[in-house]
Amino acid sequence: MTHPEEPTEWNSIFELLSLDRVLPFYEDMGISLPDKERFVTLLRQMLSQSHDELGPGRVPDMDFVEKVLNKIRSLLGDELFEQFYRWSVTVFYWAPSDQPQWSIWDHILPRRSHHLPRDLSPDRWSAVAEFQLAKSAGDVEQRATAQKHQPLSDWDTQMYTRHNYRDQNSPDDVFEEGIDPFSPVTSTIEMNRMQLAWPKLWAHFSDDEKNLFWRYGQAKLKEWELEETVAGGVPHPDSLRRQL
């Protein structure tokens, strides 16, 4: 998926958030709504209407997306709608192209102490390790596994059939087609937690150390031949901020 400026991306967000199985994970994903049930009911009404009008072979266009967004604005009010919209474009994460600048830093930051930049003091590993733990969604994966063992609701059964959703019950499950709807749930939760933990991570580093890490990241981007993929290159740690 790319930045949600196309109907396919927006419809994927609407469809995912309409699932009963996803509802308990809203807060973990960064969505805070006073009445989730009314929000889900609205999504289902609009998705059902679109399916009835267009049939299974067509993806609703941007006119439909705008109609849904206008309905959401009417339901939530301007302030909550703007939060939902910003969440959709700055936090929701199905693929690296959704949030490329955050994604590249996720790849740059080491998972092991011996992968720290060579000129960085080894005692800085504790801050990075704390950050990696803070953004982990391991606890959510356990809850998702428990959800997968529960019967599908009537709505979720329709959506699983309509969009070829399939539960991945172990890392060894490989599908020739179909997707696990919990994959973007987990990745979005990790992105949400990464953004929340970001300021605390860099509070442990001096300006010189941040610049060192930034140069290290730029070198990695070149090494991985991703310079054309990440627009604007690797952002400086101080310039990357959560937009919610």
Residue-wise pLDDT tens digits, 117-140: 999 999 999 999 999 999 999 999
Q: Determine how many CB atoms are found less than 10 A away from the CB of residue 104.
A: 22
Sign (positive or negative) of CA dihedral 147, 148, 151, 154: positive
- pLDDT confidence bin for 78, thresholds 50/70/90: very high
Q: Domain extents for the chain?
A: 7-223
Buried b (16+ CB within 10 A) or exposed e, 5-14: eebebbbbbb
DSSP 236: P
pLDDT digits (tens, 9 = 90+) for 137-156: 999 988 998 998 999 999 99
pLDDT, mean over the chain: 91
Helices 182-202, 7-17: crossing angle, 10 deg rounding:
100
pLDDT reported for residue 1: 41
What is the end-to-end Cα distance of the chain in Å, rounded? 21
Radius of gyration of the chain (CA): 20
Residue 177: pLDDT above 90? Answer: no
- CB distance 45 to 157 below 8 Å: no
pLDDT reported for residue 7: 80
